[in-house]
């Protein structure tokens, strides 16, 4: 028994971390095994088994403590609103509680910066390979919404791009202490994704990257002449990809079109109006998580609407309509603190990780304007990835250190 404990003691971290890598590698495909849950459960079992021999210890700063406080407030307020409004606790668990494993796993698993970067690569490399498949599908005549080998909805792929691509470019361009070969790898992975995001025809991705990419380039390249040259070169490449994709040009031309004939844009305006009315009628706790669709279809759907939608395609309006002021306050406090913490760090340190996470946060917020991508049905994986990336950022800044106490 003592020998078995020694073996487990020696290798359990590798087993759990391997599960996390498998989660990243299989993130874009729908499989029956959830490797994030598997990693979390295994780690709990191992921690209980080895608690006397090697108990876990946490070192954390006030910055991480305040982050956890905002997370707790977020869950308390959204749960309270769900109970008051008679919402579905089962859906609350599925949409809000389950994805938080992406944060909790790092509270009980010691990881170093090398492993954090390796874990990020486990998401970035499959995304880039999938981009090659998207390019292949385009040249095979798929001019709609190609998703490569991913069997998820195209918006799930779009949000994954939102979270990963700004980090890729930041790590590839910033004059940090990362190994030069690793920086080149990140830059190459980003460039592979550029034509794919054009051919995938998701307009909000184009809008957010048009804002975020110049910000990253100007922040990373000190010479403004070189920075603007890089922006112009990237723009020329993007225009060239648009030029060979008539469907992308057609999608791009309709970005600002709110006419009734443009169903996608017009439908969003109708949904936003309906969600606003729903909030005005239920301002304190909303209609309850899980009740939006029924309320929308029976009481708030516009006569001009042509779609059956389960959410209002806007994160803020989703929280306002479903959780009212209570839940929305928790959501706003969480993101306000993340912006405060990240901007403060970047101003003081000018480090690559703060730039990468700030860019990711900005892109995620822009995407949130036209879709309900946080704590929503269909985006549970993206919400888990958001928590994973956020917690990794705190670890890379040395604001959270999990370690095993020696005998």
Task: Return d(Cα 193, Cα 292) in angstroms, integer.
Answer: 35
pLDDT digits (tens, 9 = 90+) for 129-167: 999 999 999 999 888 899 999 988 889 999 999 999 999
| Residues facing 59 on adjacent strands | 401
Q: Which of 47-56, 88-97, 122-131, 156-165 has the lowest mean pLDDT?
A: 47-56
Mean pLDDT over 62-70 rounds to 93
Mean pLDDT over 19-37 rounds to 93
Which pLDDT value is given to residue 46?
79
Mean pLDDT over 115-135 rounds to 96
pLDDT band at 56 (very low <50, low <70, confident <90, very high): low
Task: Return d(Cα 72, Cα 344) in angstroms, integer.
Answer: 22
Residues 6+ apart with CB under 8 A from 255: 203, 206, 207, 265
Assess whether pLDDT exceeds 60 at residue 69.
Answer: yes
Of 198, 284, 207, nearest to 246 (Cα)? 198
Percent of the chain with pLDDT over 90: 69
Q: Does this model's pTM top 0.85?
A: yes
CB atoms within 10 A of CB 246: 10
Which pLDDT value is given to residue 195?
96
* More confident: 402 or 288: 288
pLDDT digits (tens, 9 = 90+) for 249-278: 998 988 887 776 666 788 889 999 999 999
């Amino acid at each position: 028994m003592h020998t078995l404990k020694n073996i487990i003691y020696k290798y359990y971290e590798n087993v759990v971390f391997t599960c996390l890598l498998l989660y990243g590698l299989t993130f874009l495909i729908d499989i029956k095994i959830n490797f994030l849950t598997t990693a979390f459960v295994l780690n709990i079992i191992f921690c209980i088994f080895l608690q006397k021999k090697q108990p876990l210890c946490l070192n954390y700063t006030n910055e991480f403590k305040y982050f956890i406080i905002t997370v707790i407030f977020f869950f308390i307020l959204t749960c309270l609103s769900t109970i008051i409004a008679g919402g579905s606790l089962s859906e609350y668990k599925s949409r809000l509680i389950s994805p938080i494993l992406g944060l909790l796993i790092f509270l009980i698993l010691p990881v170093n910066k090398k492993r954090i970067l390796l874990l990020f690569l486990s998401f970035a490399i499959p995304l880039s390979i999938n981009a090659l498949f998207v390019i292949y599908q385009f040249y095979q005549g798929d001019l709609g919404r190609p998703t490569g080998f991913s069997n998820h909805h195209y918006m799930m792929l779009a949000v994954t791009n939102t979270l990963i691509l700004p980090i890729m470019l930041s790590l590839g361009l910033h004059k940090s202490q990362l190994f030069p070969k690793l920086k080149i790898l990140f830059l190459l992975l980003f460039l592979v994704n550029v034509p794919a995001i054009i051919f995938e025809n998701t307009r909000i991705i184009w809008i957010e990257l048009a804002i975020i990419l110049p910000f990253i380039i100007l922040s990373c390249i000190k010479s403004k002449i070189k920075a603007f040259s890089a922006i112009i070169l990237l723009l020329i490449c993007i225009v060239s990809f648009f030029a060979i994709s008539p469907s992308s040009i057609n999608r791009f031309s309709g970005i600002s079109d709110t006419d009734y004939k443009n169903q996608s844009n017009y439908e969003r305006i109708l949904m936003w109006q309906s969600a606003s009315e729903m909030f005005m009628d239920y301002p304190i706790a909303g209609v309850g998580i899980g009740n939006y669709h029924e309320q929308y279809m029976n009481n708030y759907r516009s006569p001009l609407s042509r779609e059956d939608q389960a959410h209002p395609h806007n994160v803020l309006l989703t929280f306002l309509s479903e959780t009212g002021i209570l839940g929305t306050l928790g959501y706003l406090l969480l993101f306000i603190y993340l912006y405060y913490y990240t901007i403060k760090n970047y101003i003081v340190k000018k480090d690559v990780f703060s730039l990468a996470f700030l860019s990711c946060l900005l892109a995620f917020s822009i995407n949130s304007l036209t879709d309900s991508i946080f704590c929503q049905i269909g985006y549970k994986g993206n919400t888990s990835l958001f928590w994973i990336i956020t917690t990794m950022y705190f670890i890379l800044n040395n604001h959270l250190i999990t370690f095993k106490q020696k005998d």
